[in-house]
Amino acid sequence: MVDRFYDLMELEPEFAGIRTMHPPSTQGSRDKLFWFLTGWMGGPDLYIEKFGHPRLRARHLPYAIGTSERDQWLRAMAWAMEDTGIEESLRVRLMESFYQTADWMRNKAD
């Protein structure tokens, strides 16, 4: 799911706004999101073991995140989950949580 998410970000023009927030190589971002989601979904706290508390909002403050960026992120994640065959009922539950987090990350007026 994480690899498909970043593949879409790199390939699809509709995600250009959030792609520019990442370094030229997305490998580090891919790893960090995978490690974070592993713990967030109940697995080992790989991200915390490597970096400490995620402090999501603080780590994203350097990037201007508004409604457009939030929606691009959510659309890319929804597409990635669909493409990787995640069951619809799980996708719905995850998207509810992803929306809450993505909306909380907004730090610029639209």
pLDDT digits (tens, 9 = 90+) for 29-40: 999 999 999 999
pLDDT given at position 110: 87
Show the tokens assigned to 34. Answer: 């995978």
Show the tokens assigned to 100. Answer: 């809450």
Show the tokens assigned to 36. Answer: 């974070």
Percent of the chain at pLDDT > 90 equals 99
What is the dotted CATH code of the domain comprising 2-104? 1.10.490.10
Contact indicator for 43, 15 with CB cutoff of 8 Å: no
Spans of the chain, pLDDT less than 50? none
